[in-house]
Amino acid sequence: MNKFGLFDVVGPVMVGPSSSHTAGAAKIGYIARKIFNRDFKKVDFYLHGSFYKTHKGHGTDRALLGGVMLFKPDDERIKDAFDIAKENSINYSFHEIDLGEDVHPNTVKIEFTCQDNSTWSVTGSSIGGGKAVITKTNDFDVEITCELATLITKHHDKSGAIAKISSILYEYDINIAFMKVFRDQKGEFARLVVEIDGDFNKEAIEKIRDLDIVNQAKFIDSLKL
């Protein structure tokens, strides 16, 4: 006989009718904004597959918009995301896009337009049960779930880079649960995604940011529902 946990029976704590189209969408928006971590003058949501077909009925639009305003999936403000965005003069729009047959049907590409008109995008998929995975930052392949507290670095792809970052985590007794490195070309920039048990130490994050091989270091708290 299969065993079921409480999560399997009642589902995640969230606002909205659908764990995939609402909770997962809010999580994608939240992580995208945390990775982007800048002010923006406009945000465009390019919805793929069933995300576009059902985005109004299932509240995917409100959830995504709430997420980029840093509302977590269980935040009651998601229901009023349109009004809150208007009050804060946030310019947003939703579009249909075909990202290809190999892309999960619940996928969105979020494109932020900066004050200088440059753009920055994050692509993510809602994979069921309120879970989500970020698959691209701009056109750079990544895998970010934020099921645990997560450190994301952009660093020079040099020998010893990972060791320097890991040594700081060790120094502050931070236990690594998952670590993966992504890169496009040898010797250029790479992304390190580190999930940890517990919370990050602020001093440790600043030490990592101060490393000469690190271009960016961002921390996102756990979004496990």
Class for domain 12-144, per CATH? Answer: alpha beta
Lowest mean pLDDT, pick from 7-16, 123-132, 141-150: 7-16
**Separation of first and last alpha carbons in the chain:** 26
pLDDT at residue 225 in the model: 64
Q: Which residues of 192-207 are buried (b: 16+ CB within 10 A; e: fewer)?
A: bbbbbeeebeeebbeb
Mean model confidence pLDDT for the chain:
89
Place of tokens 């579009």: 95
pLDDT at residue 20 in the model: 54
Lowest mean pLDDT, pick from 20-24, 86-90, 128-132, 138-142: 20-24
Span(s) in the chain for CATH 3.30.70.260: 149-220
Inform me whether the pLDDT recorded for 4 exceeds 70: no
User: How far is Cα 197 from Cα 1, in angstroms, rounded to an integer?
Assistant: 32
How many Cβ atoms from other residues are within 10 Å of residue 162's Cβ?
18
Pairing relationship of beta strands 91-97 and 42-48 according to DSSP bridges: parallel
pLDDT at residue 21 in the model: 59
Task: Note the pTM of the prediction, 2 decimals.
Answer: 0.85
Inform me whether the pLDDT recorded for 89 exceeds 50: yes
User: How far is Cα 135 from Cα 141, in angstroms, rounded to an integer?
Assistant: 6
User: How far is Cα 160 from Cα 213, in angstroms, rounded to an integer?
Assistant: 9
Q: Which residues of 101-118 are buried (b: 16+ CB within 10 A; e: fewer)?
A: eebbebbbbbbbeeeeee
pLDDT at residue 10 in the model: 38
pLDDT-based confidence at 58, cuts 50/70/90? Answer: confident
User: How far is Cα 1 from Cα 65, in angstroms, rounded to an integer?
Assistant: 41
pLDDT at residue 86 in the model: 95
pLDDT tens digits, 195-204 = 999 888 999 9
User: How far is Cα 23 from Cα 20, in angstroms, rounded to an integer?
Assistant: 6
Inform me whether the pLDDT recorded for 17 exceeds 60: no
3-state secondary structure of 100: coil
In CATH, what number does 149-220 get? 3.30.70.260
Span(s) in the chain for CATH 3.30.1330.90: 12-144
pLDDT tens digits, 28-57 = 999 999 999 999 999 999 999 989 887 776
* pLDDT average, residue stretch 194-223: 94
